[in-house]
Amino acid sequence: MKILYVTSEAVPFCKTGGLADVAGSLPPALAEQGAEVAVVLPLYERVRDRFGSQLKFECYDYVDLAWRHNYCGLFSMEKDGVTWYFLDNEQYFSRGTLYGQADDGERFAFFSRAVVRMLDRFKFWPEVVHCNDWQSALVPIYLKDDGVREDRYRSIKTVVTIHNIEYQGRYNPYVLGELFGLDAGWAKDGTMLLDGDANLLKGAILCADAVNAVSPTYANELKMPYFAHRMEGVMRQCSDKLYGVLNGIDMKLYDPRTDERILQGFSAEDMAGKDACKAELQRMVGLREEPHTPIVAMVSRLVSHKGLDLICEVLHDMMELPMQLVVLGTGDQRYEDFFGWAAQQYPGRMSVRMDYNEDLSMAIYAGADLFLMPSKSEPCGLSQMIAMRYGTVPIVRETGGLKDTVQPCESWRDAGNGFSFANYSSGDMLHVIREAVYLYKDYPDVFGRLRQRAMSGDFSWARSAREYLRIYATITGQTWPIHADTRRAAETPKEEPPAEEAAPAVEAAPVEEAAPAVEPTPAEETAPAEETVPAEETAPAVEPAPAAEPVSAEETAPAEETAPAAEPVSAEETAPAEEKAAKKTRKTASKTTSKASKAEKKTEKKTTAKKGTADKKKSAE
């Protein structure tokens, strides 16, 4: 399978957000599964400065965009089994920042047009072109446009991944011809028109062969007005080609046993290093060195959709709890002002760093106890997965990927890997924070086991890469062997597997096996089985192309909670659902706390010795 991955940023070359992490990890993971992969990016100034000497000049050409006729250089680099291509045009890309320029529309139209123009120059003619967000949304459109005249463009299938639907690339429709070199018909027939604007992402969604959102829950949420930023109709329209593949994290880069960025390594079996990291973090950020006070942490852009208003509402109530708070991030002035002021009120107990600082963020992941992400919406979210890997237990709102990666703690039966609340309400958030803090303080054994479950989750890219390959196989009509050993088996001609065997791994997986990352939770409450099952355990030798099924509400989420996603939702319809969810959170929360004490009583007998030590520590504080 030959895949060209088009992105406007990728680690380690250039990064402004989560897209860069995905684009840096997914292509190598696809290559590891046996796909031929090339990635194409703009050659920004910062890439040239840092990687220029490692780049190989391939060739140059001229790209026609409307009346413009511009130079485009092609550079390349081999890394991690992938060819990374960089498109050069200094006028467009030699700028201090990646985005936020007045001519962004023209810059990324040039980039997209140049990708299509340079197809002949890449190491292969792709079977699939995979684009990301609005910056490369014009690629499927240009392929269709050129496909009318040239057959070979029609053979290419396209995928577009939506990392955050808030950013759509909206322009005055009159610039379609002038800026993008497209016929006005693209807007007139509605393909690229939304609310009177030319909309690049809408065009890509309608033209692509498959559309992917970065988590199953986000894929369903995108059909609701609350999350879709006016695109709910378009998303519902394309639900038969809509998928939700959960992102992964780089499990080697984020490994607490070997990570050299943190003070001392540790693992679920030996947590001594984590205690050292906690003490170090307290020293670094000026918190009191109290080993038995839980540190609640946030590493986040300080912007509204991260749920910061909830924290502003109840910060003082939070600080009444026996906890410390550390916040790292930059963003909107009003939040920076608020957190800066609040930190002064709680010296030694609350610390805020308005910074984007990789080293400090690692010290926080490693040293904190709880990780707070009360996001209003979160397409996938990577920080909660990184935090879990380092034994920092997440407290999240049940939205997007947060809902798919964090299963709420049920202490009475040792299940779950974090804490969560459903309603966007500061009261509900405070309730869950209180529950987490007291579980840490009063039931250290139960908290320890919760932490271990969080640390043992499988958030590897291999799992996501297999899901993507299944999508590529579906749209190209190919049969795709799933992993290396079975791939070898598939190379020797053999008979088609019988019908049941040919069923997708995910379908065949029994529910208990579907969530190895966390403790078994009842089917209704677990994240969708298809996203969590490791294919190694269940995949047949050869994965049949039609295996990948687009996301449907029934398949991917508990019926009661996502029912509105399946059908067009109106505001009146969603309100009762939210109330219901709020009640459910309250119910679960109180159930969890009371059951926690029961469970603890049960385990108490067995662990008297250990508990004795913990109690001693507590009274020593």
Kindly list the residues in this chain that would bind ligand GLC in the complex (CB under 6 A): 17-19, 22, 163-164, 214, 247, 378-382
Give the three-class secondary structure for 582: helix
**Residue closer to ligand GLC, measured from CB, 259 or 404:** 404
**Residue closer to ligand GLC, measured from CB, 4 or 19:** 19
**CA quadruple 465, 468, 474, 478: dihedral positive or negative?**
negative
| Least distance from ligand GLC to the Cβ atom of residue 134, Å | 12
Cis peptide before 12 (omega within 30 of 0): yes
Name the closest residue to ligand GLC (Cβ).
18
Which residues lie closer than 8 Å to 67 by C-beta, 6 or more apart? 178
**Residue closer to ligand GLC, measured from CB, 378 or 543:** 378
Q: Residue 273 and residue 389: Cα distance in Å, rounded?
A: 14
**Residue closer to ligand GLC, measured from CB, 389 or 441:** 389
Which residues lie closer than 8 Å to 53 by C-beta, 6 or more apart? none
| Least distance from ligand GLC to the Cβ atom of residue 416, Å | 21
| Least distance from ligand GLC to the Cβ atom of residue 469, Å | 18
| Least distance from ligand GLC to the Cβ atom of residue 214, Å | 4
Which residues lie closer than 8 Å to 510 by C-beta, 6 or more apart? none
Nearest of 375, 373, 328 to residue 350 by alpha carbon: 328
Q: Residue 171 and residue 187: Cα distance in Å, rounded?
A: 11
**Residue closer to ligand GLC, measured from CB, 235 or 295:** 235
**Residue closer to ligand GLC, measured from CB, 7 or 532:** 7
**Residue closer to ligand GLC, measured from CB, 73 or 401:** 401
Q: Residue 279 and residue 26: Cα distance in Å, rounded?
A: 35
Please give, one letter per residue, the 3-state secondary structure of 362-431. HHHHHHCCEEEECCCCCCCCCHHHHHHHCCCEEEEECCHHHHHHCCECEHHHCECCEEEECCCCHHHHHH
| Least distance from ligand GLC to the Cβ atom of residue 248, Å | 10
| Least distance from ligand GLC to the Cβ atom of residue 18, Å | 3
**Residue closer to ligand GLC, measured from CB, 459 or 480:** 459
| Least distance from ligand GLC to the Cβ atom of residue 600, Å | 35
**Residue closer to ligand GLC, measured from CB, 161 or 603:** 161
Q: Residue 136 and residue 150: Cα distance in Å, rounded?
A: 21
**Residue closer to ligand GLC, measured from CB, 324 or 375:** 375
**Residue closer to ligand GLC, measured from CB, 247 or 407:** 247
| CB distance 497 to 541 below 8 Å | yes
Q: Nearest-5° angle of CA 270, CA 274, CA 276?
A: 115
Q: Residue 202 and residue 221: Cα distance in Å, rounded?
A: 17
Alpha helices per DSSP H over 222-271: 225-228, 232-237
The token pair that represents 20 in the structure block? 């860069």
CA distances from 54 to 75, 88, 121, 233 (A): 10, 15, 19, 46
Q: Residue 200 and residue 193: Cα distance in Å, rounded?
A: 8
| Least distance from ligand GLC to the Cβ atom of residue 22, Å | 5
| Least distance from ligand GLC to the Cβ atom of residue 319, Å | 28
Beta pairing, strands 393-397 & 370-373 = parallel
**Residue closer to ligand GLC, measured from CB, 75 or 254:** 254
Q: Give the DSSP H or E segment for 69.
A: strand 68-79
Q: Residue 5 and residue 26: Cα distance in Å, rounded?
A: 9
Nearest of 379, 249, 357, 347 to residue 299 by alpha carbon: 357
| Least distance from ligand GLC to the Cβ atom of residue 305, Å | 8
| Least distance from ligand GLC to the Cβ atom of residue 161, Å | 7
**Residue closer to ligand GLC, measured from CB, 278 or 306:** 306
**Residue closer to ligand GLC, measured from CB, 311 or 402:** 402
Give the three-class secondary structure for 552: coil
The token pair that represents 150 in the structure block? 């040239």
| Least distance from ligand GLC to the Cβ atom of residue 402, Å | 9
| Least distance from ligand GLC to the Cβ atom of residue 231, Å | 15
| Least distance from ligand GLC to the Cβ atom of residue 213, Å | 9
Per DSSP, the residues of 174-205 read THHHHHH---THHHHTSTTEETTEEEHHHHHH
| CB distance 367 to 6 below 8 Å | no
